Amino acid sequence: MTTDDLRKRLSRLGVIKGDRWKAKPAAPTAGIEALIEGQVREGESGACFEVVRTYAPETLQGVLPLASWLALDAGMIARMGSLSLAHPIDIRRFVFLDTETTGLGGVGALPFMVGLGFFNASDDFEVHQLFLRSPSEEPAMLDFIHDMLWPDGGLVTFNGRSFDVPLLLNRHILARKSTQLGSLPNLDLLPPARRLWKRRLPSCALGALERDILAIPRTTEDIPGWLIPTLYQQYLQTGSAREMLRVFYHNEQDILSMVVLAARLASVFGKPDAAGLPADDRLSIARWYESQGMLAECETVYRIALDEMAEIEHRQEALSSLARLLKRAERRSEALPLWEYLADLKQDTTGHEELAKHYEWHQIDLQQALRWTQAGISLAETWRPGLLRTETLRALNHRHERLVRKITNQEDICSGMPE
């Protein structure tokens, strides 16, 4: 290697030649105050950095305006989130909350950024992001969170019941500060999102829902969530906040997306006869209605599904579920043609077994019960060997034997009667 080559390599590594070889001075670090428009918020417990942005209600996040939230019914929100509301809540008093932390939980995890979004009296949507320039600013941040929550309000989170809220509660306990976080109704959007879309989407993470459901593109400013703790550690070590700008963007987008995600979920759950839904979503909604005891809405969805669905697997599920619903309501005569349809599909023996039960115990036609049992056995015998085939045949053969005995006894009684 020549001297010139060595000089060039040392230069690339930050070494310059003066009276002696020495390292280049480090570039000045950029603090967060110099990189993003915000303010140092002062309080009794100290200070932390705050960024505030305001959005007009008609601002689109994907294809929906933020104001979509304001059109929702509080009762629908309560049902969707399984909330127990003692008193009606003004939906403007719900605060959208999201945290960025140094880890995935535990005592050592520090929420170094907390985003809170809410609609103000003018229907504009405000996003407040509280940032810890150092961990020592946490007590002040906790105070400011407390100040921005309404005691008679509520929270909207994404996986907040399992992560964000318990984490913040723990930080308040460690700081010996009171908070109403644990007592506020929390509409956690992850459970209803999974309830509705897990049948057809590989992931129900917020980023995946933005892409697949909400049509929200993120710019190259965004950053993967798993990388955020590392970047904050680097910020604490170097003092350079340049990469924190991407974290601010990520956190703000999460909050904005939660607003329209809540609206999208509520619009689907609130309309059992909504048109144009994918088959999997339709069946998921019906299941949700059934779990909530909303049986009239559930029946409506299943009947729409039967009119719409072409795939045999979807039709089978809709038929089986609707028939089960009618049976529970003692509407067996309406369930009867559905069981016959199920038997004709020959996908499983559900229809055969239900028809056999019906004719054995309710309509009391043992010969019909026997015929449906035999048809079920014939179908199951065509299946490939396995546990399902074995157990199905065991149950049907047991029913067959009982029915034969009952028919034989009935014939014996009849033959012994005087003419």
Give residue-wise pLDDT tens across range 62-108. Answer: 999 999 999 998 888 988 998 887 777 789 999 999 999 998 766 67
Task: State the pLDDT at residue 84.
Answer: 80
Task: State the pLDDT at residue 299.
Answer: 96
Q: How far apart are CA 376 and CA 398, in angstroms?
A: 12
Q: Report the 10 Å Cβ neighbour count for 298.
A: 22
Task: State the pLDDT at residue 220.
Answer: 86
Task: State the pLDDT at residue 413.
Answer: 67
Task: State the pLDDT at residue 87.
Answer: 74
- Measured CA angle at 101 (ends 97, 107), to 5 deg: 110
CB 322 within 8 A of CB 350: no
- pLDDT tens by residue, 106-132: 667 999 999 999 999 999 999 999 999
Task: State the pLDDT at residue 16.
Answer: 44
Q: In total, how many domains does the chain have?
A: 3
Do 146 and 248 reside in the same domain of the chain? Answer: yes
Confidence of residue 11 (pLDDT cuts 50, 70, 90): low
At 116, give phi and psi (nearest 5°).
Answer: -130, 130
Task: State the pLDDT at residue 64.
Answer: 97
Enclosing H/E stretch for 305: helix 295-308
- pLDDT tens by residue, 211-224: 999 999 999 899 99
pLDDT at 194 over 90: yes
pLDDT at 27 over 60: no
pLDDT at 363 over 50: yes
Do 256 and 334 reside in the same domain of the chain? Answer: no
Instruction: Identify whether 11 is part of a domain.
Output: no
Give the range of the structural domain holding residue 290, as residue numbers without chain letter. 271-347
Do 263 and 277 reside in the same domain of the chain? Answer: no
Task: State the pLDDT at residue 1.
Answer: 54
CB 206 within 8 A of CB 220: no
Q: What distance, in Å, lies between the first and last C-alpha atoms of the chain?
A: 122
Confidence of residue 14 (pLDDT cuts 50, 70, 90): very low
Do 248 and 388 reside in the same domain of the chain? Answer: no
Q: How far apart are CA 301 and CA 282, in angstroms?
A: 7
Task: State the pLDDT at residue 153.
Answer: 92
pLDDT at 138 over 50: yes
Do 182 and 108 reside in the same domain of the chain? Answer: yes
Do 285 and 263 reside in the same domain of the chain? Answer: no
Confidence of residue 412 (pLDDT cuts 50, 70, 90): low
- Measured CA angle at 356 (ends 352, 361), to 5 deg: 155
CB 195 within 8 A of CB 284: yes
Region 172-188: mean pLDDT is 94
By CB neighbour count within 10 A (0-12 exposed, 13-18 middle, 19+ buried), where does 19 fall? exposed
Residue 28 carries which DSSP code?
A: P
Task: State the pLDDT at residue 4.
Answer: 63
Least confident of 74-83, 230-239, 317-326: 74-83
Instruction: Identify whether 378 is part of a domain.
Output: yes
pTM: 0.87
Do 238 and 278 reside in the same domain of the chain? Answer: no
Do 184 and 141 reside in the same domain of the chain? Answer: yes
- pLDDT tens by residue, 273-308: 888 899 999 999 999 999 989 999 999 999 999 999
CB 369 within 8 A of CB 403: yes
CB 251 within 8 A of CB 113: yes
Q: How far apart are CA 61 and CA 80, in angstroms?
A: 22
Region 316-333: mean pLDDT is 96
Say what percent of the chain tops pLDDT 70. 90
Helix (H, G, I), strand (E, B) or coil at 126: strand
User: Structure tokens of 79?
Assistant: 């049902």
Task: State the pLDDT at residue 88.
Answer: 77
pLDDT at 416 over 60: no
* Residue that is last in its domain, among 347, 375, 400: 347
Confidence of residue 139 (pLDDT cuts 50, 70, 90): very high
Do 100 and 203 reside in the same domain of the chain? Answer: yes
Confidence of residue 20 (pLDDT cuts 50, 70, 90): very low
Residue 212 carries which DSSP code?
A: I
